[in-house]
């Protein structure tokens, strides 16, 4: 058994999901090799080489891998897997992992197992289906197991005193097939939604974009939380889509999740029900959100939330 | 140079999005008795986008062909697609068992070849298996460029520009036809089929083939050992005041 972990990085550092992927890779039991692609690869390699449990770091510094274009990155992944005779491939379940990994799996003639939340053995994994309404335990019979793992389900591997060897990866030098044009990342002073310890989310109960911002942003700052939103709030234009928590948005599992004016549709619960403590504020005592909440407050959010903000400041 | 689009739209029949699935007693899957099924919502968005590409661009689209890989009842979702305006369709009858995404991608690759499709529009994922594989796998098998999670699609000549939803924002990529694009939620609002069109759709072409006849082996690679309910959360408390609210959260160590 030997595992290759595909590292997602940006601005010269590995993203937190990659450190969770390394932790999952370590759980599999065999030696762990990390693969870093793109022209900042050597810089990221310095960081990853120090992570506990990483034996080797492979770098493909070719700029054709910048912006993680799926066509070239999957071609690289396939060649590195074959050259190193890896039995397992692990990548983060992010937009990046989702775009690249299934493509590479098809090229390896492997049925991938994605969104893994638990590793039960070297070939047996647990993954949510039906928006987390059921958990499926599956056993892969493919010679190579290709996995993506949920960051919220594995504690990030720590950067310790490791000193993995850094080597050049085999590089198939694929020709680019698609071109990266631009990106627009929503900037925020607040903690990142995907990795924050505390999240406060607003729903349709906030009534407008102006009220969403006036009520939720000061509350988030008082709690020290990232801001999230339900799909209903996003669809109504109250908040940007990048804030969406749910089956079709981000899956979060913070220490504290406060749902404000959110009814608790199945699709929203799928994105937050693994939070350690769930608190909910809603004026409708029958709202389904109260079925999953550890602490519920039946109140008008426009009175209760500013009050909470003042008391927590 | 401009290429006429021969669009393929794969569609899947799934448990309706409004229904809360229950795990069956045998823990082999979810309860399917008496449950309503519909076209997968992301597939519906793909059908809608294909129709809008035709309606919004004169002479751009030559044909729109829908495909479903499933049991006989998957004819229903093909009829839905035909009623909305898709031209022709194929059911790949694989029986009632769930077919893995790798097999679906292999089947679709054969049909793309047969249909001479040059643009495949499909949902980013099905809401039952939540896999989010098929488009990417098909793109890999065909060696075509891919753009997943599309929030906007523009086609000019044979160049396709796609705004993609990524973690924390959006990204714009472009590639040349032939290409695979998977659809995200914000791409469009699907239409409803009118009653006259539902009647007309009954006469539109719906061919049935088997995976065997396409030469694709659909033997599963991943065995489902168990399907279980997620662990239930303990009962919560309801409080009356914001002070109690803060106190209870602090008691649980989260503030």
Q: Whose structure tokens read 């990085």?
A: A9
How confident is the model over A105-121, as a mean pLDDT?
Answer: 98
State the pLDDT at residue A107.
Answer: 98
State the pLDDT at residue A312.
Answer: 94
Asked, for residue B236, whether it belongs to a domain, the answer is no
The length of chain A is 313
Q: With CB atoms and an 8 Å threshold, state whether B137 touches A105.
A: yes
Do residues A36 and A19 lie in contact, with contact meaning Cβ atoms separated by under 8 Å?
A: no
Burial readout B174-210 (b: 16 or more C-beta within 10 A, e: otherwise): bbebbbbbbbbbbbbebeebeeeeeeebeebebeebe
Do residues A277 and A294 lie in contact, with contact meaning Cβ atoms separated by under 8 Å?
A: yes
- Give one DSSP letter per residue of B70-135, joined into a string: ESGGGHHHHHHHHHHT--EEEEEE--SSPPPHHHHHHHHHHHHHHHT-SEEEEES--TTT----HH
State the pLDDT at residue A141.
Answer: 98
CATH classification of the domain holding B210:
3.40.50.620
State the pLDDT at residue A203.
Answer: 97
In this complex, the residue of B146, B229, B244 whose CB is nearest that of residue A71 is B146
Do residues B221 and A142 lie in contact, with contact meaning Cβ atoms separated by under 8 Å?
A: yes
What's the domain range around B140? Answer: 5-229
Q: At what angle do helices A209-223 and A301-312 cross, to 10 degrees?
A: 30
A310 and chain B: CB distance < 8 Å anywhere? Answer: no
| pLDDT tens-digit map of A30-51 | 999 999 999 999 999 999 999 9
Closest to A131 in 3D by CA, of A1, A251, A293 = A251
Choose from B221, B223, B224, B251 for mutation: most chain A CBs within 10 A. B221
Maximum C-alpha span of chain B: 68
- Mean pLDDT across chain B: 95
Domain count, chain B: 1
B34 and chain A: CB distance < 8 Å anywhere? Answer: no
Asked, for residue B126, whether it belongs to a domain, the answer is yes
Q: State which H helix or E strand residue B143 sits in.
A: none
pLDDT-derived band at A152, boundaries 50, 70, 90: confident
Closest to A169 in 3D by CA, of A99, A72, A256, A265 = A72
**Sheet arrangement for strand A277-282:** A226-229, A198-202, A256-260, A277-282, A295-298, B237-239
Q: With CB atoms and an 8 Å threshold, state whether B228 touches A273.
A: no
| pLDDT tens-digit map of A59-103 | 999 999 999 999 999 999 999 999 999 999 999 999 999 999 999
- Give one DSSP letter per residue of B173-205, joined into a string: EEEESSEEEEE-GGG--PPPPPHHHHHHHTTS-
Residue ranges of E strands in chain A: 3-6, 9-10, 13-14, 32-37, 54-60, 88-92, 113-116, 118-119, 124-129, 134-140, 145-149, 165-168, 178-185, 198-202, 226-229, 256-260, 277-282, 295-298
How far is the C-alpha of B65 from the C-alpha of B71, rounded, in Å? 18
Q: Which residues of chain A are within 8 Å of residue B173 when distances are taken between CB atoms?
A: 69, 178-181
Closest to A249 in 3D by CA, of A129, A156, A147, A131 = A131
Q: Which residues of chain A are within 8 Å of residue B132 when distances are taken between CB atoms?
A: 98, 102, 114
- Is the model more confident about A115 or about A133? A115
How far is the C-alpha of A79 from the C-alpha of A72, rounded, in Å? 11
Fold annotation for A3-168: Rossmann fold (3.40.50)
Asked, for residue B252, whether it belongs to a domain, the answer is no
CATH code of the domain occupying A198-312:
3.40.50.1220
Q: With CB atoms and an 8 Å threshold, state whether B148 touches A70.
A: yes
How far is the C-alpha of A131 from the C-alpha of A120, rounded, in Å? 21
Q: State which H helix or E strand residue A186 sits in.
A: none
Task: List, for chain B, all residue ranges whose pLDDT scores fall below the cut of 70.
Answer: 1-2
A201 and chain B: CB distance < 8 Å anywhere? Answer: no
State the pLDDT at residue A187.
Answer: 79
Asked, for residue B235, whether it belongs to a domain, the answer is no
What is the chain B residue with the closest CA to A192?
Answer: B168
List chain A domain ranges.
3-168, 198-312
Asked, for residue B55, whether it belongs to a domain, the answer is yes
Interface ipTM above 0.90: yes
Q: With CB atoms and an 8 Å threshold, state whether A103 touches B136.
A: yes
State the pLDDT at residue B2.
Answer: 65
Residue A64 is given by DSSP the state G
State the pLDDT at residue B167.
Answer: 85
State the pLDDT at residue A268.
Answer: 92
Distances (CA, A) of A124 to B27, B223, B229: 17, 9, 18
Half-sphere exposure of A72 (CA within 13 A, CB side): 21
How confident is the model over A232-260, as a mean pLDDT?
Answer: 91
Asked, for residue B241, whether it belongs to a domain, the answer is no
SS3 (DSSP) at B217: coil
- Mean pLDDT across chain A: 95
């Amino acid at each position: 058994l030997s595992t290759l972990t595909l590292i997602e990085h940006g601005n010269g550092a590995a993203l937190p999901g990659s450190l969770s992927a390394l932790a999952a890779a370590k759980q599999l039991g065999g030696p762990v090799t990390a693969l870093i692609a793109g022209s900042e690869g050597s810089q990221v390699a310095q960081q990853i080489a120090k992570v506990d449990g990483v034996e080797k770091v492979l770098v493909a510094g070719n700029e054709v891998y910048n912006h993680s274009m799926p066509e070239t990155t999957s071609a690289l992944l396939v060649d590195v897997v074959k050259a190193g005779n890896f039995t397992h491939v692990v990548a983060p379940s992010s937009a990046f992992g989702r775009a690249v990994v299934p493509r590479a799996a098809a090229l390896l003639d492997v049925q991938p197992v994605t969104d893994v939340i638990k590793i039960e053995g070297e070939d047996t994994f647990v993954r949510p289906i039906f928006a987390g309404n059921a958990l499926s335990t599956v056993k892969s019979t493919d010679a190579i197991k290709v996995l993506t793992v949920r960051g919220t389900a594995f504690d990030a591997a720590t950067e310790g005193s490791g000193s993995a060897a850094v080597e050049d990866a085999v590089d198939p030098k694929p020709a680019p097939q698609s071109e990266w044009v631009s990106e627009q990342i929503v900037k925020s002073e607040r903690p990142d939604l995907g990795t924050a310890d505390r999240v406060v989310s607003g729903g349709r109960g906030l009534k407008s974009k102006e009220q969403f911002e006036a009520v939720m942003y000061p509350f988030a700052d008082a709690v020290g939380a990232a801001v999230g939103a339900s799909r209903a709030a996003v669809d109504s234009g109250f908040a940007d889509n990048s804030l969406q928590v749910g089956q079709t948005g981000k899956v979060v599992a913070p220490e504290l999740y406060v749902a404000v004016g959110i009814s608790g549709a199945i699709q929203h619960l799928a994105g937050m029900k693994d939070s350690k403590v769930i608190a909910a504020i809603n004026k409708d005592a029958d709202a389904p959100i109260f079925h999953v909440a550890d602490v519920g407050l039946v109140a008008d959010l426009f009175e209760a939330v500013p009050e909470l903000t003042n008391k927590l400041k | 140079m401009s290429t006429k689009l021969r669009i393929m739209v794969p569609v899947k029949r799934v448990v309706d999005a409004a229904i809360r699935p229950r795990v069956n007693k045998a823990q082999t899957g979810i309860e399917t008795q008496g449950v309503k099924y519909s076209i997968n919502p992301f597939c519906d968005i793909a059908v809608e986008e294909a129709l809008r590409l035709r309606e919004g661009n004169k002479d751009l689209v030559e044909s729109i062909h829908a495909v479903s890989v499933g049991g006989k009842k998957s004819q229903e979702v093909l009829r839905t697609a035909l009623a909305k305006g898709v031209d022709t369709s194929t059911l790949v009858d694989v029986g009632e068992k769930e077919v893995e995404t790798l097999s679906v991608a292999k089947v679709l690759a054969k049909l793309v070849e047969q249909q001479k499709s040059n643009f495949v529009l499909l949902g980013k994922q099905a809401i039952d298996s939540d896999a989010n594989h098929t488009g990417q796998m098909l793109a890999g098998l065909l060696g075509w460029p891919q753009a997943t999670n599309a929030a906007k699609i523009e086609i000019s000549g044979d160049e396709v520009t796609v705004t993609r939803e990524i973690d924390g924002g959006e990204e714009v990529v472009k590639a040349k036809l032939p290409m695979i694009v998977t659809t995200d939620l914000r791409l469009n609002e699907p239409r409803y089929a009118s009653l006259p069109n539902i009647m007309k759709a009954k006469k539109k072409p719906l061919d049935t083939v088997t995976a065997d006849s396409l030469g694709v082996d659909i033997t599963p690679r991943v065995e489902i050992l168990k399907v279980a309910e997620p662990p239930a959360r303990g009962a919560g408390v309801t409080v009356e005041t914001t002070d109690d609210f803060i106190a209870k959260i602090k008691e649980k160590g989260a503030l």
